[in-house]
Amino acid sequence: MSDLSADKISVAFAGLRALSEVDLKVTSGQIVGLIGPNGAGKTTLVNVMTGFQPATSGSVSLDGQDLSGLKPHELRRRGVARTFQGGRLFRDLAVIDNLEVTGVGLGLSRAAAIAEAEAMLDWVGIAPLANRVAGALPYTDERRVAIGRALMGKPAFVLLDEPAAGMSATEAQDLSALIRRIAGEMGCGVLLIEHNVGLVLDLCHHVVVLDSGVVIETGDPATIRASERVRHAYMGTAADTNLPVLEVME
């Protein structure tokens, strides 16, 4: 078993505190949810855990080894992968080339990278998209390609930042099944950052709730559903999250 941990993470921008002593741990094969209203600090925490944002204080560790100060590509080579809210695909390249470039960047030969890219597209269920230009894909297909790219090199952990954004209910169900396979078949630890609270409560073993940069609740889905603090945090933000939060949490 492997653990990716954020310990007492605080981040301040120009004196404004975005995160305050946040703790979070993901274990291999486990799906952990990270939820909270807009501006809660979710993406900032993911940025810290993947090397895109230095912490003001606190540390990130992999199996007890401090990762602080490592660059994103160094963390990626150590098995910590992520997706982004905006996809960030190489838009002028074909889908398979997006995955191949990642494989080469991780140290594979071009032939090995192509073979793994083909296998990954098939595993994710998007092999028919292989030769499509990434920039011409529908938004939801971009998300699936981004997940396939993040899984290149079989990382130990993958942090998915708003993967269900813009998806229909059916597409979100397909995504849910894929995330379960990532954890179950690949043994990958998954951190799922989502506004779709229903998806998170259905999928995750453990959920962390942020509000204004502070952890206000942690626990299994039943604990989160019953939490008055979580209800209070989401009051007035249901329209922003595009989810009937109060119904989901009843």
CATH class of 22-88+140-248: alpha beta
pLDDT tens, residue by residue, 190-203: 999 998 999 999 99
- Whether 60 shows a pLDDT value over 70: the answer reads yes
Would you state the pLDDT for residue 98?
Answer: 96
Higher pLDDT, 121 or 88: 121
Q: Name the one residue in this structure whose structure tokens are 């209203």.
A: 37
Cα–Cα distance between 219 and 225 in angstroms, integer?
Answer: 10
- Whether 10 shows a pLDDT value over 50: the answer reads yes
Would you state the pLDDT for residue 245?
Answer: 43
Would you state the pLDDT for residue 166?
Answer: 83
Would you state the pLDDT for residue 85?
Answer: 84
Instruction: List, in order, residues 6 or more apart from 93 with CB less than 8 Å away.
Output: 101, 133, 134
Would you state the pLDDT for residue 241?
Answer: 39
Number of H helices, E strands in the chain: 11, 10
Helix, strand, coil shares of the chain, percent, nearest 5, are 40, 25, 35
Of the pLDDT bands very low, low, confident and very high (cuts 50, 70, 90), residue 167 is confident
What percent of the chain shows pLDDT beyond 90? Answer: 82
Cα–Cα distance between 178 and 158 in angstroms, integer?
Answer: 13
Per the structure block, which two tokens stand in for 244?
């009937």
- Whether 171 shows a pLDDT value over 60: the answer reads yes
pLDDT tens, residue by residue, 216-225: 999 999 999 9
Cα–Cα distance between 36 and 194 in angstroms, integer?
Answer: 8
pLDDT tens, residue by residue, 109-146: 999 999 999 999 999 999 999 999 999 999 889 999 99
Of the pLDDT bands very low, low, confident and very high (cuts 50, 70, 90), residue 234 is confident
- Whether 40 shows a pLDDT value over 80: the answer reads yes
DSSP 69-122: T--HHHHHHTTEEE--TT----TTSBHHHHHHHHHHHTT--HHHHHHHHHHHHH
